[in-house]
A and B are shown apart, each in its own frame.
Chain A
């Protein structure tokens, strides 16, 4: 049915009629589904408006589709029904699923096909590497990227007689002991525990999270988080929990941030994107520092990112992709990246934007904003720190969370919990492998 088709299209519905009557001379709609809310959505809309005002051919329509998993599912449901948006924002844990989906138009190809000459070298590599395929080509455009750092309560530190933030985990043990002894209710806590304590801990110490180069080299990857170092780290946290040096507040951020803001807990490990909320709410003197490392690690690796990227979906006419490419190029320009970084705290994705900010002295006014960038760019990424490429990653994070919770509850030892996390995750990975063939 390729040529000389006689196509009968019965199109009904108000929408269709509406579109038909407006088809003449109207700009082409580019649908963009995302999961940003609140002030971030405001900034995003500013960027979209700026693009729409900068030209007349295309009109980007941004719609917020709920949380990250709701947004991804809306995209999937739409794709299955041939109603997909042009651009879909997907969280970093959905990367592998998207890459293998055959539903995407890789950003590298898109830019090439539409005549955009992009110098990918000018991008921040630790951000880019998370979304690059094994052939070295970028699959999706990084959008909101962050990394975890450490926040500490300077008032409580002073009370405990501490002069600066701990740099190693050993120092962390001593510092939290002093903090608790000097009246702090808890020493430290963590938001997004799997991301910070397992994924980033592994990257920073150059440990593989899973075999096959963290999944980059094959679907038959297996988790390796039950290695002695991670086990020891978790055991240590559990013993700290017993004497209040560590407290577990919840998987996400609300509890841990509340504990830090209220002064209940002296140290918080959390995404750099928390800076905004902390600034608005904290009444005491506080600072930020890189995550602690093991004393044995002389040159710690870069930390890895979290957040989301923009995927272009297949199935639209060619001329519309020109608009998509123009829009993505627009988002990556210096001005937009600076706006995004200043208003949301997420990383700029290009070196130009970063250097411009530096030259303008932005980081002298906002030194906190640079802590994460420096930590993330301190060394070139290795196979263990360029990113993670696991299928069904959201489920695996759930499993890791569940098993860690078993450990915190004292129902399992660190070794048991991590072993169990590995075997359960491997089952999920095998299932993913099976259905991706």
Chain B
């Protein structure tokens, strides 16, 4: 996309884009190339002995059941996290939009978690849900007689990281929804009310369709968030366990490379992730370009 009216200059645009280019070339593309290169190598962690193994790392990766399991977990985890945080965010935003009192306080309280480091929120959630000393775990087990044990039970652990990850993202979704809701003309809703449409029906027929671009945008952003940015939460809460039940693809890159020191496999996984990113980027690009109507 380019403006219809633009400046022409032979050197200025290059100068303007230079800092950005330098930074991404040095700190993104060069390391990424290194990772690509590394994915064809088998080497000891210190880089003393290195051999070229062609696609060995990739075939090893894709013939490994656990990698497929990790892919499955990643998708399940990402979509559950996205759905949960979007649904909660939307519900809370819709309610906050209806509320007439204490608007500023409500908003403030709801935006707060956005600022908290994943590492910190992971600690807090672990503190709440740990089967031996967590207060929520304690109450759940005592009151409902549910056997809750994220340390041993993979499903419980996955549930815990989904909740912790979704929690952090509720604020983000809330902000977008509240802004979207505020931009819906009041007159439209009032007209429907006069026609006798119930509040729920009004929400379904008017509000939701008008929010759908926001909804779709948030779906993409949330999946991306769950894919890539939940590293800190998984790292502090479960470290991918138990039995690999919370081993997402990003965490596996870290775990195999950093803890396992299997740099070749880790690099191969980075390459797979980069491909996923390119696809996601292309999809989002297409969607964003289509959805947005530029004025002027």
Residues of A in contact with B (beta carbons under 8 Å apart): 69-70, 73, 76, 79-80, 97, 100-103, 248-251, 254-255, 258-259, 262, 264, 392, 394-395, 398, 401-403, 405-406, 408-409, 428, 431, 434-437
Most chain B CB neighbours (cut-off 10 Å) among A79, A392, A398, A435:
A435
In the complex, the number of residue pairs spanning A and B with C-beta atoms less than 8 Å apart equals 92
Most chain B CB neighbours (cut-off 10 Å) among A251, A254, A405:
A405
Q: Please choose the segment from B38-46, B70-78, B205-213, B288-296 that sits at the chain A interface, where 4 or more of its residues have CB less than 8 A away.
A: B38-46
For A436, the chain B residues whose CB sits under 8 A away are 44, 49
- How far apart are A249's CB and chain B's nearest CB, in angstroms? 6
> When the two chains form their complex, are residues A435 and B151 in contact, meaning their CB atoms are under 8 A apart?
no
For B262, the chain A residues whose CB sits under 8 A away are 392, 395, 431
For B232, the chain A residues whose CB sits under 8 A away are none
For B153, the chain A residues whose CB sits under 8 A away are 409
> When the two chains form their complex, are residues A254 and B132 in contact, meaning their CB atoms are under 8 A apart?
yes
Q: Which of B47, B130, B242 contacts A405 (CB 8 A)?
A: B242
Instruction: A436 to B43: give the CA distance in the assembly, Å.
Output: 8
Given contacts A255-B132, A395-B260, A405-B242, is CB(A76)–CB(B46) below 8 Å?
yes
> When the two chains form their complex, are residues B259 and A402 in contact, meaning their CB atoms are under 8 A apart?
no
> When the two chains form their complex, are residues A259 and B241 in contact, meaning their CB atoms are under 8 A apart?
no
By beta carbon, the residue of chain A nearest B48 is: A102
Instruction: A408 to B259: give the CA distance in the assembly, Å.
Output: 24
Instruction: A406 to B243: give the CA distance in the assembly, Å.
Output: 7
Residues of B in contact with A (beta carbons under 8 Å apart): 42-49, 51, 60, 130-133, 151-154, 241-244, 255-256, 258-262, 264
By beta carbon, the residue of chain A nearest B43 is: A435
Q: Which of B48, B130, B264 contacts A255 (CB 8 A)?
A: B130
> When the two chains form their complex, are residues B132 and A259 in contact, meaning their CB atoms are under 8 A apart?
yes
Instruction: A414 to B78: give the CA distance in the assembly, Å.
Output: 33
- How far apart are B254's CB and chain A's nearest CB, in angstroms? 10
For A76, the chain B residues whose CB sits under 8 A away are 45-46, 261
By beta carbon, the residue of chain A nearest B154 is: A409
Given contacts A102-B48, A395-B260, A431-B262, is CB(A254)–CB(B130) below 8 Å?
yes
Instruction: A253 to B150: give the CA distance in the assembly, Å.
Output: 15
For A73, the chain B residues whose CB sits under 8 A away are 258, 261
Instruction: A409 to B157: give the CA distance in the assembly, Å.
Output: 13
By beta carbon, the residue of chain B nearest A264 is: B132
Instruction: A428 to B264: give the CA distance in the assembly, Å.
Output: 13
Q: Which of B49, B132, B152 contacts A258 (CB 8 A)?
A: B132
Q: Which of A80, A262, A401 contacts B47 (CB 8 A)?
A: A80
In the complex, 30 of the A-B residue pairs with CB atoms within 8 angstroms, ordered by the A residue number, are A69-B258, A73-B258, A76-B46, A80-B46, A97-B45, A97-B261, A101-B48, A102-B48, A103-B46, A103-B48, A249-B132, A249-B151, A250-B152, A251-B241, A392-B261, A392-B262, A394-B259, A395-B259, A395-B262, A398-B255, A398-B260, A402-B241, A402-B242, A405-B152, A434-B42, A435-B42, A435-B43, A435-B51, A435-B264, A436-B49
